[in-house]
């Protein structure tokens, strides 16, 4: 039996010129901007927001090398996973807001001619704004290629998959080896409170992941905070900057920050955590502010992805 695996991720601009169209794609997504009359005015509003934000965001990408590394990392994860899975599996990448698109992935899947599909979002914790949007995007692309009836299993979330938790605990333990007594600050991507109030499981799953990792690291103090806010709405709290200030005010000297909702390096790790929040940590008097490495192509993480694919079995939830 031939199985095609599709890894879903957000994507990122591959050049400075791509920043504004990437942002336009992002803010055109109704799961990102949802409000009364959004169906009528969202696209022009997305163009306006993208044009206003682009200059500032371009400078951030310039400071991390002029592009997002997310495509290269995700494609490297796909190649490593395909090797780990072995014969009978092909692994493809679909990005939500940039290249390779879901349409490109669907065409590649069609060429591979699989007997079944396994869809694996690279968002461990489910939110309709990330996993939900990416799944809908892929479904549209598969239908367009005549693959809508292909047996399909979707791994909707894997926040508590033991192999994933072990891989994450592994990088945290490595980061703590020469930081005895440090506080671990799990930093997750923010989410509007409204989505949680409407039943989105993201917050519960983020808390579950952090707690599961902490259980494997007894006696290590830890906290959870949320980064990457945008717009004048209520977001999950505390924010990561507020948490950094609070830790310093309590006399904490050393902090290991762990990107808990991100499995690959991109602008939120390379700029927001490594540059912006590191500068804030120095300003408020922390002695050490270090980031645990992202999972990227770490062998234990690739093995965890393989466990998820294999355990998806041959059932169809399409």
Residue 97 CB-density burial (10 A; 0-12 exposed, 13-18 middle, 19+ buried): buried
162-291 folds as Rossmann fold (3.40.50)
Predicted structure pTM score: 0.94
| Among 48-52, 113-117, 142-146, 155-159, the least confident range | 48-52
Residue 316 has pLDDT above 50, yes or no: no
Domain layout of the chain by residue ranges: 162-291
The pLDDT value recorded for residue 308 is 98
Residue 291 has pLDDT above 70, yes or no: yes
The greatest distance separating any two alpha carbons of the chain, rounded to the nearest whole angstrom, comes to: 60
The pLDDT value recorded for residue 39 is 60
Those residues whose C-beta lies under 8 Å from the C-beta of residue 262, and which sit 6 or more positions away, are 189, 268, 269, 294
More confident residue, 43 or 64: 64
- Average pLDDT for the chain: 94
Contact 140, 94 (CB under 8 A): no
Binned at pLDDT 50, 70 and 90, residue 30 comes out as: confident
pLDDT in tens, 194-244: 999 999 999 999 999 999 999 999 999 999 999 988 777 899 999 999 999
In this prediction, residues 186-196 reach a mean pLDDT of: 96
Binned at pLDDT 50, 70 and 90, residue 293 comes out as: very high
pLDDT in tens, 248-271: 999 999 999 999 999 999 999 999
């Amino acid at each position: 039996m031939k199985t095609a695996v599709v890894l879903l991720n957000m994507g990122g601009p591959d050049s400075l010129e791509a920043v504004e169209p990437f942002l336009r794609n992002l803010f055109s997504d109704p799961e990102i901007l949802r409000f009364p009359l959004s169906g009528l005015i969202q696209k022009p509003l997305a163009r306006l927001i993208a044009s206003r934000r682009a200059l500032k965001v371009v400078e951030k990408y310039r400071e991390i090398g002029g592009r997002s590394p997310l495509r290269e990392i995700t494609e490297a994860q796909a190649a490593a996973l395909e090797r780990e899975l072995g014969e009978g599996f092909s692994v493809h990448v679909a990005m939500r807001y940039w290249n390779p698109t879901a349409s490109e992935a669907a065409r590649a899947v069609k060429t591979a001619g699989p007997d079944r599909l396994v869809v694996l979002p690279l968002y461990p914790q489910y939110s309709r704004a990330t996993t939900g949007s990416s799944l809908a995007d892929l479904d549209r692309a598969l239908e367009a290629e005549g693959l809508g009836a292909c047996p399909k299993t979707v791994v909707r979330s894997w926040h508590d998959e033991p192999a994933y938790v072990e891989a994450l605990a592994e990088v945290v333990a490595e980061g703590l080896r020469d930081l005895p007594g440090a506080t671990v600050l799990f930093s997750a991507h923010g989410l509007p409170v409204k989505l949680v109030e409407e039943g989105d499981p993201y917050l519960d799953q983020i808390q579950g992941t952090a707690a599961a990792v902490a259980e494997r690291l007894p006696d290590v103090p830890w906290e959870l905070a949320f980064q990457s806010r945008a717009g004048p709405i209520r977001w999950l709290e505390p924010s990561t900057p507020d948490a950094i200030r609070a830790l310093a005010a309590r006399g904490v000297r050393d902090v290991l920050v762990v990107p808990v909702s991100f499995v690959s390096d991109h602008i939120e790790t390379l700029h927001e955590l490594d540059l912006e929040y590191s500068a804030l940590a120095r300003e408020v008097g922390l002695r050490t502010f270090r980031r645990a490495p992202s999972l990227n192509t770490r062998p234990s993480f690739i093995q965890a992805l393989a466990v998820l694919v294999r355990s998806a079995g041959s059932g169809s939830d399409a």
